[in-house]
Chains A and B, each alone.
Chain A
Amino acid sequence: MAEFALDCLGEACPVPLMKTEKKMAEMAVGDVLVVNIDHSCAMKNIPEWARKQGHNVEIEEVDDGEWEVIIEKTK
């Protein structure tokens, strides 16, 4: 049940999503990934991708234009 962080601040689409996909593939079921983003489109497409994959997702707006997407790997 480890927690990982992925810093995608300053990255443009689709790099945050690609990095998230890659990182999630390396993780075990039950692990949590916290993705830091400041790209307004990634704040929509990363949660959407994760939900479609069936993972648990939360978005938290941590600052003006900065979000943390918290994904729990479920399968």
Chain B
Amino acid sequence: MSGFRAFFDKLGKNKFYVMIFKNPFTYVTGAILLSIFQVVTLAVTGEPWGVSGTFANWGAWLYQLVGGNVDKWYYFSSEGAQATLARGFLDDPGTMRNLGIIFGALAATLLASQFKLKKIKSIRQVVAAVLGGLMMGYGARLAFGCNIGALFSGIASLSVSGWVYAIFLFVGAFVGSKLLAKFFM
């Protein structure tokens, strides 16, 4: 067992391992790498990267679990939306991509030997998470997406909507920062 342990300790100190898996990348490296896979996504699937649209489907499936029905909702009335809902959670590509992000981040943290379960510390954090989550969910539906779909993919797609989104996102972030300093610190 000690040989096993020694092997991974040695690996963790290897120059190249440290560079790729231990130390963080610079923000610019991250920007370039994300851009490459954003382009690959468009080239392969014909659509750019999006995240939050899938959350609405998750909401619909959760609602169905508790006996709700969204068939009459305007939002889910298109054939595409109905087909996605009918296929279900496990056969939805968007779901798989979002789950992939979770597991990819988990793997990155573990490979850096930096995983820690961070428990909620205060009621203040609970309020922040609930309010912030609700606001993001609602806002993303009105604006056709989140920072990925509406902002990153919108701007990359030469859509003016992406820039309008960026301006008011910044105004929101400004107000949010002030609220955070006042109520959540």
For B, the interface residue count at a CB cutoff of 8 angstroms equals: 17
Contact present for B121 and A64 (CB under 8 Å): no
Pairwise interchain contact B24-A44, C-beta atoms closer than 8 A: yes
* CB within 8 Å of B: which A8-33 residues: 9-12, 14-15, 18-19
Q: How many residues of A contact B (CB 8 A)?
A: 18
Chain A positions within 8 Å of B24 at CB level: 40, 43-44
Q: Which of chain A's residues have a CB closer than 8 A to the CB of B181? A: 18
In the complex, the answer to whether B119 meets A10 with C-beta atoms within 8 Å is yes
On chain A, the residues within 8 Å of B115 by CB distance are: 64-65
- Cα A33 to Cα B24 in complex, Å, equals 23
Check B185 against A10 for contact (C-beta < 8 Å): no
Contact with A along B108-128 (1 / 0, CB 8 A): 010001111011110001001
**How far is A69 from B184 in the complex, measured between Cα atoms in Å?**
22
A39–B128 alpha-carbon span in the complex (Å): 17
Central interface residue in A18, A38, A40, by most chain B CB within 10 Å: A40
CB of B107 within 8 A of chain A? no
Cβ of B180 under 8 Å from chain A: yes
Which of chain A's residues have a CB closer than 8 A to the CB of B177?
14
Contact with A along B142-156 (1 / 0, CB 8 A): 000000000000000
Which listed residue, A14, A64, A66, touches B180 by the CB 8 Å rule?
A14
Residue from A15, A39, A40, A63 in contact with B184 in the complex, judged by beta carbons closer than 8 Å = A15
Q: Can you pick out 6 interface pairs between chain A and chain B where the beta carbons lie within 8 Å of each other?
A: A10-B118, A10-B125, A18-B181, A40-B24, A40-B114, A65-B109
B interface residues with partner A (beta carbon < 8 Å): 24, 109, 113-116, 118-121, 125, 128, 177, 180-181, 184-185
Beyond A38-B116, A38-B118, 7 additional pairs, beta carbon < 8 A? A9-B118, A10-B120, A15-B180, A15-B185, A19-B185, A44-B24, A66-B116
- Which 5 pairs of residues, A with B, have the shortest CB-CB distance? A65-B116, A10-B121, A65-B114, A38-B116, A64-B116
